[in-house]
Structure 1
Amino acid sequence: MTKVIEADRGLKVWWHLTRPHTLTASFVPVFLGTAIALAIEKETIDFGLFFAMLIASMLIQAATNMFNEYYDYKLGLDNEHSVGIGGTIVRHGVQPKTIMLIALSFYAIAVLLGIYICASTSWWLAAVGLVCMLIGFLYTGGPYPIAYSPFGEIVSGAVMGMGIVLIAFYIQTLTVTLDAVLLSVPSMILVGAIMLSNNIRDIVGDTEGGRKTLAILVGRGHAISVLSGFFIVSYLWVIALVAIDGITFWALIIFVSVPKPLRAIQIFRDKKEAKEVMPAMKYTAQTNTIFGFLLGIGLLAHYFLS
């Protein structure tokens, strides 16, 4: 019985290492890009490519989280009291080199999946995929980590939000259309919002650690206002697409998710301690998940019901 409990704890440690709450930032864009391909371009979906893209994206996201764990430890930013980390190194004594080995193994599997995707579509995607993987590493690795700069939100949003949506769309259609780009913008913004919420939570520790994140540069109060702006623009963007670009009214189902960002902003304004604002981060991530999922569902509803 003791061995079973220990094994269960071990699995939980490794599961937390992937930071599962962040994996929706890779899952939702793949779903949305595929939904756009079916609903807007009327393409027949290749589910082999869909699942290969989905798994590769989640592996790259998980590996990026592990690089973050590794380099934050190496730079002395994480300790056993740090909030929002996997904690495998500082709390559970896992060797840093083991974390790096797992991350690189995830990258290797993603490369194999990428080869299958490129062989089925276009080898130009190999260059795009390698750039995305390099950015994932450089986000917290290298001499000038992106995450420690004011550009973390825009880079993560462009790659994990818009980039994945458009790649998922491309592998089904072999093209990139204006509608696909326009529909990927909210995904880009909301993935950036996840990163901004993380930086708002960590503003004290990041300041002490010498980071220059957007939240630090503009100050906590203004950072919360920027986060509010991210949410507002995302919803207004879809309204504009419905009114101007002729996107289906079904897309407005996204407003079911509105309570999540409202709650996130309320918590950030009412609380300041890192542990107290953890729910706000959860609501921000849920906004990205539910918004993107509902947008895809709205497009599919129009396709199947029209």
Structure 2
Amino acid sequence: MNVKSFLKLVEIQTKVASVIPLTMGTLYALYRFEHFYTWRFALMLVSLLSFDMATTAVNNYYDFKKASRTHGYGYETHNAIVAHKLKESVVVGVIVLLLLLAAGCGLLLVAQTGLLVFLLGGLSFLIGILYSFGPVPISRMPLGELFSGLFMGFVIIFISAYIHTDDMLAVLTLERGWVHFQLNLVETIYLFWFSVPAILGIANIMLANNICDIDEDVDNRRYTLPVYIGKANALTLFKLLYYVSYVDLALLLILGVHPLLVLLLLPTLIPLRRNLAKFDERQEKATTFVLSVKNFLLLNAARIAVLVVALLL
């Protein structure tokens, strides 16, 4: 396996769905709590990327093993194992190494932070595995958008903010058999609303992927959300989730969670609507799926830029 085939196997272009929430949570902690720990950030970055790449590789491997139809729909090109003629043993070995790296860095982060990171990280690991593996993987159910959005869009942002806040968001301790848990409910709600555009953007990446694969998924007995609600309704939902994100930004501005600079994000509606129109015309994995990634980057990278400017000012 060379570098090109590895990057294709882990679908490196989709890893922005992990890096951006991590960056957003870190900047939120800096902006709202004025705290930052370099070593903790580095550990979470490596653990998060390794696990994200591992789950993607597992998903591609599982699709390769379970495919009922191995021709047409671009199967020969978009499945990295087939396109690059990768050995199954090598793919499994890469998955194991990535999982070990993710777990190792995750445990080091827990040692630096505490039990709450262990529980949330462990739950994320479990969901990540169940997403692609098991008798009925989450990715083959109409729940993929919900789980990917909540865990990658909110849980990642929560953890990446929490590790810098010195228990100002939540506290979980174990003393003499007693579990003590305290949650700053107001700050957690603020952080959730802050996460909504990331939650919906990540869910839309999954939704766009499933819309593009709807015919292939029916043949391969993958009953995703678009299969259940139909392509037309899925396309309507795809557009609606982006507009909800902008409504959420207005709410964040009113609550004072976002700086006034957030108004600079309004012009992003123009290219975003242009991308929506292109995807509405044609839904293809090779050509238009990337528009969902571009929209996610467009809105959330712009939010990151706003937070950076606010911090500098």
Normalised by the size of structure 1, how large is the TM-score?
0.89
Equivalent pair of 2:153/2:199 in contact (CA under 8 Å): yes
Deviation of residue 46 (structure 1)?
Answer: 0.9
Alpha-carbon separation, structure 2, partners of 1:202 and 1:299: 36
Specify which of 61, 71, 76 is matched with residue 52 of structure 2. Answer: 61
Aligned equivalent of 2:183? none
Aligned equivalent of 1:283? 291
After TM superposition, the structure 1 = structure 2 runs for residues 140-289 of structure 1, keeping only pairs within 5 Å, are: 140-173=132-165, 174-176=167-169, 177=187, 178-245=189-256, 247-272=258-283, 274-275=284-285, 278-289=286-297
Normalised by the size of structure 2, how large is the TM-score?
0.87
Residues 163 and 157 (structure 1), Cα distance of their counterparts in 2 relative to 1, 3 Å cut: same
Which range is displaced more, 78-87 or 257-266? 78-87
Specify which of 86, 91, 97 is matched with residue 89 of structure 2. Answer: 97
Aligned equivalent of 1:4? none
Residues paired across the two proteins, number: 293
Provide, for residues 245-294 of structure 1, a one-character-per-residue CA deviation record: whole Å limited to 9, x for no partner: 4531112333343344323321222124x35xx44321211222232222
Deviation of residue 80 (structure 1)?
Answer: 6.0
Which range is displaced more, 292-301 or 259-268? 259-268
Equivalent pair of 2:9/2:80 in contact (CA under 8 Å): yes
Aligned equivalent of 1:25? 17
Which range is displaced more, 288-297 or 228-237? 288-297
Alpha-carbon separation, structure 1, partners of 2:95 and 2:307: 35
Equivalent pair of 2:149/2:203 in contact (CA under 8 Å): yes
Unmatched tracts of structure 1, length 5 or more = 1-6
Alpha-carbon separation, structure 1, partners of 2:14 and 2:257: 32
Residues 67 and 259 (structure 1), Cα distance of their counterparts in 2 relative to 1, 3 Å cut: farther
Percent of pairs with identical residues = 26
Aligned equivalent of 1:49? 40
Specify which of 121, 126, 131 is matched with residue 118 of structure 2. Answer: 126
Name the Cα RMSD after superposition.
Answer: 2.0
Aligned equivalent of 1:301? 309
Provide, for residues 12-58 of structure 1, a one-character-per-residue CA deviation record: whole Å limited to 9, x for no partner: 11121110111000000000000000011122x11111122112111
Aligned letter for 2:304? G
Which range is displaced more, 245-254 or 186-195? 245-254
Deviation of residue 64 (structure 1)?
Answer: 1.0
Unmatched tracts of structure 2, length 5 or more = 170-186
Residues 57 and 107 (structure 1), Cα distance of their counterparts in 2 relative to 1, 3 Å cut: same
Which range is displaced more, 54-63 or 78-87? 78-87
Deviation of residue 74 (structure 1)?
Answer: 1.0
Residues 280 and 240 (structure 1), Cα distance of their counterparts in 2 relative to 1, 3 Å cut: farther
Alpha-carbon separation, structure 2, partners of 1:82 and 1:258: 32
Residues 247 and 92 (structure 1), Cα distance of their counterparts in 2 relative to 1, 3 Å cut: closer
Equivalent pair of 1:264/1:281 in contact (CA under 8 Å): no
Aligned letter for 2:56? N
Aligned letter for 1:217? Y
Residues 108 and 28 (structure 1), Cα distance of their counterparts in 2 relative to 1, 3 Å cut: same
Alpha-carbon separation, structure 2, partners of 1:279 and 1:235: 26
Q: What secondary structure does 1:172 align onto?
A: coil
Deviation of residue 146 (structure 1)?
Answer: 0.4
Residues 112 and 86 (structure 1), Cα distance of their counterparts in 2 relative to 1, 3 Å cut: farther
The reply to whether residue 114 of structure 1 matches residue 106 of structure 2 is yes
